[in-house]
Chain A
Amino acid sequence: MPNKSQQIALVLSRVSANFEDGKERVLVLKDMSFSVPAGSFVSVVGPSGAGKSTLMRVILGLMPHTSGDIVRNFSRPAMVFQNYALFPWLTALNNVAFGLRMAGMRKTEARKTAKKKLEEVGLGHLENHYPAALSGGQRQRVGLARALAISPDLLIMDEPFSNLDTITAESLKADLLKIWRSYGITILMVNHLIPDAVEFSDQIIVMVAHPGHIKSIIPIDLPRPRDTRSAQFFKEVDLLTEATRAIS
């Protein structure tokens, strides 16, 4: 990404976090250290229970960490959720406008911007539909538009494709890469599909469970746009599959 490689969007150093389960404290994240360069695409992979989602909540400040430091060089984070998390009482358009309205933008202006974002993800014609009337793929597009509407400087995506069928997911992935390139935003994505992580990422963080910590951080230096059928691509996927196999 142009000229942004010097800046760092996010730094974690030796970050740990606990879950309070009644009286018991369970360590869920242990000594997490990594950094995310501004404008880069970083994926987090690992088995379920490795604390990937918890990590995202800690980064966003939705959950406290117990020790370590987090440097947040971003001011407008946005998130895309695995189960969409759209507000069922709002139409697609008003879901997208939600963040803008909360930021104090006037209604007509917010709706105009939201409409543009909906069109950008190909759903301009469904603006008045409620989430219940949308398919999974459409809901996730609304979720993406809602996130992009606030012009985020960090976009966190928690397994955004895992509730979608393959065909829907593929088209959304292509759009996401396009959006990432044109916006130049920093993206941190939790993923469980290694080929996807290799296709998107500049850097892949491999996590292990009990307690969740980093096993390895693997840079992916393949040229973009990436050819998912090249020998190098398969080599990277193999390497990463090996790295995750050893832990499960």
Chain B
Amino acid sequence: MAGVIGAVLLLTFSGYFGEVAWLTLCDAVLRTTYRLAIAYGIALVLGALMALVVGWSPFSDILFPFFDILQNLPSFALIPFFIYFFGFTSNMIILFAVSSIIWPILFAILTAIKSAHKDLSDAATIFGAKGWRRIPYYLAPLSFPAMLTGSIVGIAIGWEAVIGAEIITNVAGFGDFIKEAGASGISQALVAGTLVILIIVFVINRLVWAPLLTESSKRYAE
């Protein structure tokens, strides 16, 4: 990362980025990040809820393959449906991203619940985590590490979904920005945009996921 920062500084001082419309770029990046954040929030709540309810219910064995088929639908093939229902809007992009982000989260949690040691589940039952209490006191903490890894994968896919959808639909955002930059031949803008996204991803990883992963591996180690 130090190398990347050094390169950025060098390029900046050498006047390489002179032609870049920084305000437009920042605006675009903020829009994209905002969409991703909202989409992730929705996908996390929805995916976790679905996984907990399915994992808790006796129908999980029936529903698992059904989800597996849904997950395997190529997500960008669904974009015309989203456009048909929601138009060329920011909300359309958010909902489309949700449809991509939700699967890794749902499957990670569902797998964690299904593969938990039977004794642990028995212990929860014997010591009183029955009925609805099973969700907050057993299933949710049990699936915390899975929720973390599912989220990391989900957000990686989420960047792709949001930026991809912006490129396809020309809705203002980072995808639209680099598409314009590429089309008008301003390669500096392309480089600048990529660097900005890289930095954001790096900062989120360092400040959010890395500490959570450390905490999780400390607690959940066998």
A residues neighboring B (CB under 8 Å): 57, 60, 62, 77-79, 81-83, 85-90, 98-99, 102-103, 130, 132, 146, 150
Contact = CB atoms under 8 A, between A and B. Distances in A.
B126 A83 contact: no
Contacts of B124: 87
Contact of A89 (B117, B123, B125, B144): B144
B125 A62 contact: yes
B129 A102 contact: yes
Given A83-B117, A132-B218, A132-B221, A89 B126 contact: no
B128 interface: yes
B222 A132 contact: yes
Given A87-B120, A88-B222, A98-B129, 6 more contacts: A60-B122, A87-B124, A89-B144, A98-B127, A102-B127, A102-B128
Nearest to A143: B123
Label chain A's interface by main secondary structure.
loop
Given A79-B122, A102-B137, A89 B127 contact: no
B141 A87 contact: yes
B156 to A, nearest CB: 26
Contacts of A78: 126-127
Nearest to A84: B119
Contact of B122 (A62, A99, A146, A150): A62
A85 B116 CA distance: 11
Interface of B: 117, 119-120, 122-129, 133, 137-138, 141-142, 144, 218-222
A99 B128 contact: yes
Instruction: Please list the 10 inter-chain residue pairs (A to B) with the smallest Cβ-Cβ separation, ordered nearest first.
Output: A102-B128, A99-B127, A85-B119, A89-B141, A85-B123, A132-B221, A81-B119, A88-B220, A85-B120, A79-B126
Contacts of A146: 127
B218 A130 contact: yes
A89 B122 contact: no
Contact of A77 (B117, B126, B141, B219): B126
Contacts of B142: 89
Contact of B126 (A60, A82, A87, A132): A60
Contacts of A79: 122-123, 126
Contacts of A132: 218-222
Contacts of A87: 120, 123-124, 138, 141
Contacts of B138: 87
A103 B128 contact: yes
Contacts of B137: 98, 102
A87 to B, nearest CB: 7
Contacts of A90: 141
Given A98-B127, A102-B128, A146-B127, A83 B220 contact: no
Contacts of A82: 119
Given A79-B122, A83-B117, A83-B119, A89 B128 contact: no
Tell which of A82, A88, A103 has the most Cβ of chain B within 10 Å.
A88
Contacts of A60: 122, 126
A187 to B, nearest CB: 15
A59 B84 CA distance: 57
A216 to B, nearest CB: 28
Nearest to B222: A132
A61 to B, nearest CB: 9
Contacts of A81: 119, 122-123
Tell which of B122, B125, B218 has the most Cβ of chain A within 10 Å.
B122
Tell which of B119, B129, B137 has the most Cβ of chain A within 10 Å.
B119
A99 B123 CA distance: 10
Tell which of B123, B128, B137, B220 has the most Cβ of chain A within 10 Å.
B123
8 contacts: A78-B126, A83-B119, A85-B117, A87-B120, A98-B127, A130-B219, A132-B220, A146-B127
A89 B133 CA distance: 16
Contacts of B144: 89
Contacts of A57: 122
A88 B129 CA distance: 15
Contacts of B119: 81-83, 85
Tell which of B123, B125, B127, B218 has the most Cβ of chain A within 10 Å.
B127
